[in-house]
Structure 1
Amino acid sequence: MSRRDDLHFSLRRTLEKDGWIVTDDPLILVLKQTLLKADLGAEKFFTAEKAERKIAVEVKDFDSPSVISELEKTMGQLQLYQWALEEQQPERQLFLAVSQAIFMKHFQKPIFQLAVKRNTINLLVYEPKREVILQWIVH
């Protein structure tokens, strides 16, 4: 099993432990007759708010030799997913999931902060080993 698979299944278990129901694995989206696949789709009912929230999640480990190249690819991928969600499932909020280690290593850098801010990227920061969500950062 590859490292990415480990992250994928760890994130899925993390969401489920937090009360989310994984509805799609992967979440299939279509944009202008092109098939796209986000890693997960999930939903959760919040009784205090009497509302249901739906999310689409893409998990990344940023372990390629060129982190900037992976950031560029991820920005484009998330933009396509966002466009597809706006057309097909506007109630679903898109998140980029990263481990706490990756968040601390890369997302403190000015270029990552700029990319997140300018592209209004929502982040889900989690601890893969303990399978717990540490932060929801919504832009």
Structure 2
Amino acid sequence: MSAKDIFHNTVRSALEKEGWIITHDPLFIKVEELDFFIDLAGEKFIGAEKDGLKIAVEIKSFIGASDLTSFYGALGQFLSYRSALRKKQPERVLYLAISQDIYSDFFSNQFIQELIAEHQLKLVIFEVMKEEIVLWKE
């Protein structure tokens, strides 16, 4: 199991503020002999709905030497996790959590936006200091 991202507790708090119940920290999935640990998983019940919404969230800080190199790693991890979820927990939707700063500074690049669309990444953008979700991007 890998170390928690520096924004792990920030994102967990932000999700809980929005009414998400964190069910796994981390979410463990085994596909054949491969072990996957997705940072968080949660549920949110809507009205009288019994099964509600289920998400998994992978958190990335982008604090490495290069935002582009960090993006390569995040994209590969996201795609692998999404495939594992489709096999084991298809009802759960995967999101990549990034700070509002990295979203504004790096993810706003046109080519990065094209890659996000091409690979159908779902993003949850959070404000670090307030520990709040500012945008769910489908």
Give CA-to-partner distance per residue, 1:22-45, whole Å, 9 cap, x none: 000011112232001111000000
State the one-letter code of the partner of 1:129. Answer: M
Cα 1:21–1:82 shift into 2, 3 Å: same
Cα 1:129–1:85 shift into 2, 3 Å: same
Shift of residue 70, structure 1, vs aligned partner: 1.2
Which structure carries more strand by proportion? 1
3-state DSSP of counterpart to 1:58 = strand
Name the stretch that deviates more: 93-102 or 109-118: 109-118
Distance 1:65 1:3 in 2: 19
Question: Pairwise mapping of residues 7-26 of structure 1 onto structure 2 (< 5 A)?
Answer: 7-26=7-26
| Root mean square deviation of aligned Cα | 1.8
TM-score by length of 1: 0.91
TM-score by length of 2: 0.91
Question: Pairwise mapping of residues 92-107 of structure 1 onto structure 2 (< 5 A)?
Answer: 92-107=92-107
Q: How many residues align?
A: 136
Q: Is the 8 A contact 1:41 1:57 kept in 2?
A: yes
Cα 1:16–1:116 shift into 2, 3 Å: same
Q: Is the 8 A contact 1:31 1:83 kept in 2?
A: no
Structure 1: gaps (5+ residues) = none
3-state DSSP of counterpart to 2:5 = helix
Distance 1:3 1:49 in 2: 32
- The aligned residue for residue 91 of structure 1 is 91
Distance 2:48 2:134 in 1: 21
Give CA-to-partner distance per residue, 1:77-104, whole Å, 9 cap, x none: 0111011100111010000011111110
Distance 1:90 1:19 in 2: 22
Are 2:5 and 1:4 aligned? yes
State the one-letter code of the partner of 1:86. Answer: R
Q: Is the 8 A contact 2:4 2:39 kept in 1?
A: no
Are 2:32 and 1:29 aligned? no
Distance 1:37 1:58 in 2: 9
Structure 2: gaps (5+ residues) = none
Distance 1:30 1:4 in 2: 21
Q: Is the 8 A contact 2:14 2:131 kept in 1?
A: yes
3-state DSSP of counterpart to 2:45 = strand
Distance 1:117 1:132 in 2: 24
